[in-house]
Amino acid sequence: MTMKAVFKLEGLDCANCAAKIENDVKKIPGVQEASVAFMTQKMTIVAEEDRMDTIIEEATRIAKSQRAYFPAPPGLDVFTFSPIPWVSYSHISHTNPGHRNNVTPMFDWGRYTERDGRMMMPFSVQVHHSFVDGVHVGRLIENIQSFMDEY
């Protein structure tokens, strides 16, 4: 017989960490299904009822032992690129927990496509308005466009 248990996780601030916890919990003997929802901070386990106590203990150990993917704020000369070359998009946004040290610019671009004889490529810049002036983002976009126009 199976049993379903749902738990609230605390301190989960990384989707990658949620995926790692989920994958590790799925490897526990007796677990039939496991999911960790980063947005709701919940873990769901479906497992054999007679093993559920042991499974919960092991799942708790796994969740508590998970360390942050980026344990310290990046340096002031660091930025994040996140290319997504297999999709074209019109909008992208990243979850930002609002920590004061989270000032790293994030750049994304997607698959280029041809539209009306022109090559189009989605490009997104996410920055903290207190640290980056919009004019600098505009200049960056102009430079990228000039480069792309040459090729």
- For 87-137, write each residue's pLDDT tens digit: 888 888 777 666 666 677 888 999 989 989 888 889 998 887 777 788 888
List 91, 128, 129, 136, catalytic entry: 129
In degrees and rounded to multiples of 5, residue 134 shows phi and psi of: -60, -30
- What integer pLDDT is reported at residue 69 of this predicted model? 58
Whether residue 129 lies in the annotated active site:
yes
If you average pLDDT over every residue of the chain, what do you get?
A: 85
